[in-house]
Structures are given as C-alpha cells and as structure tokens.
Amino acid sequence: MAKTRTSTDRRQRSAGKGRREKNRAAIRARIVSAALGLFREKGFDATTTKAIARRARVAEGTVFNYFETKEDIALHFFDLEVDHAIAAVRKNTKLRRAPLEEKLFALVQTQLEFLEPHRRFIGAAFLHALRPTSKLGFSSQAIALRNRYLAFIEELIHESLPRRAGGLFAWFAPPVFWIYYLGILLYWLNDDSQGMQSTLALLDRSLKLGVMLLRKGEL
Amino acid sequence: MAGPESALRRALKLAGLSAGVAARYASYLAQHSFLREDERERKLKATHAKAGQRVTQELAALKGPAMKLGQALSLHTDLFPDEILQELSALQMSAPGMHPSLVRTQFKISMGRPVEEIFRSFDDQPFAAASLGQVHRAVTRDGKKVAVKIQYPGVREAVPSDFKLLRTFARTTGLKRKVPDAVLDEVEQHILAETDYRREAENIDFFRARLQPLDYVTVPQAYHEYSSDRVLTMSMVGGVHLQTYLSDRPPQVERDKLGAHLLELFYYQLLQIGAFHADPHWGNYLFGPNGAVGLVDFGCIKRWSPKFVEHLHLTFLYPGDPKSAEFRRLMVEGHSMHGAKLSPAALRMFSDLTDNFYRRVYPSELEKENEFFDFGEEAFLKEYMRHATQLFRAKGTLPEHVFLARAEIGLYQTLHRLQSRVQTSKIVRKFLRRRS
C-alpha cells in the first residue's frame, strides 16, 4: 500500500509546482525523444547535440540547460527504464505472492520490453559504458542508478526468502545479479531468434537455477 | 541458437541421467548374486521403478523436445521394462510449467497483444500440460470458453541442439542399436513440425471435417484469430483421462461401447481418412459417458501412404490361409509397390502374425462376424508384443509397418486397460473396400 501512496504523492507534488514545471518536463521529454530517435537512426556516436536540438525544435543552448552531454540523455533514459520496470513490478498485485524467480523475471522482462525499440542504441551504449571515461559506466549518476536498481533487487530477495536463508550469499546476491543482468542484456542484444525466444528461455531457466542456489545458500 | 547455457545444462542433464540410471542397475547387479530368486525378482522390479522415476524426472526437467522423445520411446514398448514404461507414460500428462509472468510474456510476444486485450478472462494456472507447452482456460470477449495452449519459450530453437546431443548420447551408450538414426531423424522432424501451432490448427480443421460422421467423437474447434505459431486457441473438449475414467468403475457395457468406438475410430482413420490425429495412445483421448471420445493434441498427425492403405484393404481380414502362396504374393506385391524387397524372414513373420494374432482377434469368417473379442485377456497383448518386437527388428519391412505396429500397441493397451469386449471384425469390415 505504501507504494501507491508514494506515487500519488509524487503526482500531487508535480501538480502543485504548476505550469512552469510542466513545461520544463515537456521540453525535457521532447529532447529525450528526439535524441532516442536519432540514436536509433544514426547511432549513438554519430548523433550530435546540434542535431538533437534541431529535431526537438529547441536552441542548442536549451539542450545544455537540461543535459550536459548526450551521455546524460542516455543516463536519463536508463533512469526512466529502471523507474518503469520497478513501478511495473510494484504495481502488479499478482506478483506479490509469486516466487522470487518470477518477480525477477517480470522485472528483467519489463526492462527488455522497454529497451526493445532502442536495441541498436543499447548495443552502442553498452560498448560506450566500458570506456573508463564514460559517464554511462562510471559517473556518480550511473552508480546511483545501479544502486537504486540493486536496492530493489535486495528488497525483492528479502521479501521472498526467509530471513536466515541465503546467509552471506544473499547479502552478496545483488552485485552478482548486476553482472548477471549485464550478461542477459548482452545475450539479448545478440539473440536473433524470432520473438526473443532464446533470451526468454535462458532468462527463465537461469533465474530458476540462481534462485535455487540462493535458497540453498551456497554456490 | 538455443544458447550455450541451455545446451550445456541439457548436456549435463543427459550425462547425469545416464550415470544415475546406470548406477542403479550397477548396484543391483552387484547385489544380485547374494539374493534369493524371489527376492531378486522383487529387487529388480524396484530397480526398474526407481530408474523409471528418475528417467521421468530428468526428462520432464528437460521439457520440450527431450520430453517428446521420452513419449516417443514410451511407445517402443519392447525396449523397456513395464515399470519404466509406466513412468515414461506419465510424461504424457505432466511437465514442470511456466509461471504466470512467463505465460503472459510468451503470449504477448507471440500474439502481438496482451492476454487481457484478447480474452475477457484468462486463468493463470494451467489445467493441463502439453508436451511442448501448457494449456490454460480462458473466456473470449464474446463469452466462448476456450483452451489456450502456449508453447514453452525456445523450444523450436532447442530442437536441433537437443537432437545433436541425443545422437551423441545414443552412440556412446549403445542405445543406438535399439533406436536407430532413422527413428531419431524422424522424431526430430515430427517435433519440429509440432512446434508450429498454426499447422496444428490446420490439422484440427482437417479432422473436424473428416470425423464428422462419427458422432461420438469430439474434435475441438480451432480459433485461428486467437492463434499463432506458438499460441493455439481452441474450444474446450469434455471428458477425462483414462485413469480418472477407470477410477469411477464404469460398468462393462460402458467399457464395451467405448472400446468399440475406439476401435472404430482407429480403423476409420486408417482405412477411410488415411491419417491418425495422434498416436492412438490413451494420453491423446478424453473419455466421457456413453462412449464419448474427445480428441486432444493434433500436433503430430500421421498421414499414411495411400498405397500402404490400399494394400491393407487387400490383406486385412484375409479370408484364406496366411501361409498360402496367394497371401505371400499379396505381401510381396505390397512391398514392391513401395520399391522395397520383402525378406523371407519378414514374410514368415507377417504370416505368423496373421495366423497367430489377427485371425484370432479379427476372425475373418463371415459367420464369426458377430463375435466379441475380449481385450481384457492378457495373452493377446503379449502375443502382439512378441510379434511387434520381431517386426521392429525385421529387415526389409516398410517403415509404415513399424508405425502401424506402434499405433496398434497404443490401441490395444488402451482397450486392454478398459477390458472392453468388441465386435472387431464387424467394425473393420464396414470400412474395407474390396472384393467379396
């Protein structure tokens, strides 16, 4: 129930801040959608802030008011993605009594569904994030995003497994899950089966296996 | 591509399976010299049963293709002891399933729209497991109660790699001598075809039209508009599985009626349609009151070669002596139509089969036409198994004969469990077109 209240609060808050805030949000959304469109068509690397501004019908300076670099736009997109997936799992009342593997499945699947139209860009962003100078991989925003995601994973683990089960391994599980998630993402990016059948199969079986190990509390 | 993970896990499973089962038998052999005769028998049965359970669990965990192979093997009754067979046949009905989130995802990806946009209601809990998927109850927007079969993800992608493994497995364990490559190839092709549910929907249409004359048979209606290659929506078919049917202790007259219907359905399909909806094993039927038969699972239909069926019209209920020159000539001709040469040993086997089995179960004399054959007796089934084993091993017979034998085993096992008494020849003769 607490979850519904938070989102209502957020809505009320944003309504209270009035029209200017709304306008800002609209421009931000326009910039993001213009950028995503360009990432998709031209690729992440070939897209310039100038082109983004032109497509969003704003001055280039306006883009900088919202995002320092195009990597910040990408990070914002991943923020939206994680918010969306966490909200979807929280909102789904049927999941409340589901086993852990199903909750995790629903989470990752929602993420992939969100990412699906931007596949090409995700592939480029993935490579980008590996560079030590990349904001996508190593900035404080990126780390905050990852922590938010993993905090939710931890929450799911704790509400599903009896407190003592898992032990050290359960404590260790979220970072392991992060590596697992990146692996799934990479597999999905290269999955050429129709209707992402291979990814679904891998996701389903590996989560079952992983949660089983977690329950036993050993590797 | 099935993915390295799944291939590896399957490989481990298969390896684990062979090791686990082999270890059970090894432990039995190690003990058996110390056991007395009767105890040895009991022990052997227990070993079989344990090994059987293990085979089922392992295959069920593999799901999909391997499970299908388990079913196919379970029809090769000669290969396995009864206890293992019982366990294998349990596969026909159960398999570990998909959770609701996966079901809904799979549905949405396959149909392009979420479940709730298409159906008024959808039951997240499956009510039946099919070999390559699971079946859910749903209600359409216009209020029709339907069964929705949804395929496990990645099944089609896994078939080639699974079979590669199975071939390796068969080669290294000596299973190959019993399950030849040709059988594996064929099972692979069938399973691959079975993963396309649109084909299954077409099969349903075909049998629904062709089986119209048999009013006790229910074929579901396929709803193409709610189906895709991995989702199949059809009308609900009433009835219960054999086990449940028998647990209600239906009276003899009911069982006779049902038996007659099953036998009629078998020969109607074979001799009039030239195709089987599935293996005539009890797992593919639902039974109801008044001899009602519901057909389920149209994934793997068998179309008989028209020439083979034509030949059956000539040889079935053969009125003369099966050791006569004319019968031999008929058999040789039947094989040469297919470009096959019938070996003398195979010819002898067919004569024996006709003499010892068919003439007893299906008397060809017109005056015996109204006689009932009691499928409850044990001896006939043993007799058939004995001949079928020879037939599986014989060189120079047609593959169609092997299929027919497998199908007949399914039919006879079902009739035997029902303990039906049936006017066999009378039923068959209705469908034979031939000379006097």
Query: Which CATH architecture does the domain made up of A69-219 adopt?
Result: Orthogonal Bundle (1.10)
pLDDT at residue number B3: 43
Q: Of these residues, B229, B279, B297, B374, which one is catalytic?
A: B279
User: Is B279 considered catalytic here?
Assistant: yes
Q: Report the gap between the CA of A126 and the closest CA in chain B (Å).
A: 20
Task: With beta carbons under 8 A apart, name residues in chain A contacting B98.
Answer: 204
pLDDT band at residue A80 under the 50/70/90 scheme: very high
Degrees to nearest 5, angle at CA B181 with B176 and B187: 110
Global pTM value: 0.75
Coil/strand/helix, residue B395: coil
Beta-strand pair B119-122/B133-140: antiparallel
A residues 200-219 near B, CB within 8 Å? 200-202, 204-206, 209
In terms of residue numbers, what domain contains B255?
238-436
Whether B154 and chain A come into contact, CB under 8 Å, resolves to: yes
Q: Specify which of A185-194, B157-166, B298-307 reaches the highest per-range mean pLDDT.
A: A185-194
Tell me the pLDDT tens digit for each residue of B3-13: 444 444 454 44
State residue B131's pLDDT score. 64
Residues B234-248, mean pLDDT to the nearest whole number: 90
pLDDT of residue B388 exceeding 50, the answer is yes
Q: Is B424 part of any domain?
A: yes
The pLDDT of residue B435? 46
Q: Give the ipTM of the model, two decimals please.
A: 0.82
Q: Which of residues 203-232 of B touch A (CB under 8 A)?
A: 230
Count of domains forming chain B: 1
Q: Write out chain A residues lying below 8 Å of B109, CB-based.
A: 195-196, 200
State the smallest CA–CA distance between residue A109 and chain B in angstroms: 8
Sign of CA dihedral B257, B258, B260, B265: positive
Contact in structure between B382 and B357 (CB atoms under 8 Å): no
Task: Tell whether the model's pLDDT for residue B369 goes beyond 50.
Answer: yes
Name the residue with higher pLDDT: A101 or A161.
A101
Q: Does residue B124 surpass a pLDDT of 90?
A: yes
pLDDT confidence tier of residue B22, bands split at 50, 70 and 90: very low
CA separation, residue B381 to residues B358, B385, B411 (Å): 12, 6, 11
Q: How many CB pairs under 8 A join A and B?
A: 66
SS (H, E, C) B98-142: CCHHHHHHHHHHHHCCCHHHHEEEECCCCCEECCCEEEEEEEECC
- pLDDT band, very low/low/confident/very high, at B259 (cuts 50, 70, 90): very high
Task: Answer yes or no: is B150 within a domain.
Answer: no
Question: Which residues are B353's β-sheet partners?
Answer: none
Closest-CA residue of chain B to A106:
B101
Checking if the pLDDT of B34 tops 60, the result is no
Most confident stretch, A20-34, A169-183, B58-72, B99-113: B99-113
User: Rounded to whole angstroms, how far apart are CA atoms B391 and B389?
Assistant: 5
* Residue-wise pLDDT tens digits, B307-332: 889 889 988 888 888 888 888 888 88
- Domain residue spans of chain A: 1-67, 69-219
Contacts of B101 in chain A (CB under 8 A): 95, 98, 102, 105-106, 109
Whether chain A has a CB inside 8 Å of the CB on B101: the answer is yes
In angstroms, what CA-CA distances link B56 with B7, B80, B95, B178, B382? 19, 13, 9, 19, 25
B213 vs B382, more confident: B213
Contact A94 B124 (CB under 8 A): yes
The CATH class, in words, for A1-67 is mainly alpha
Is B303 within the bounds of a domain?
Answer: yes
**Which one is predicted more confidently, B157 or B253?**
B253
**Helices H / strands E in chain B, number of each:** 18, 12
For A179, counting Cβ atoms within 10 Å of its Cβ (0-12 exposed, 13-18 middle, 19+ buried), the class is: exposed
**Is pLDDT at B368 greater than 70 in this prediction?**
yes
Kindly report the nearest CA distance between residue A216 and chain B, in angstroms.
19
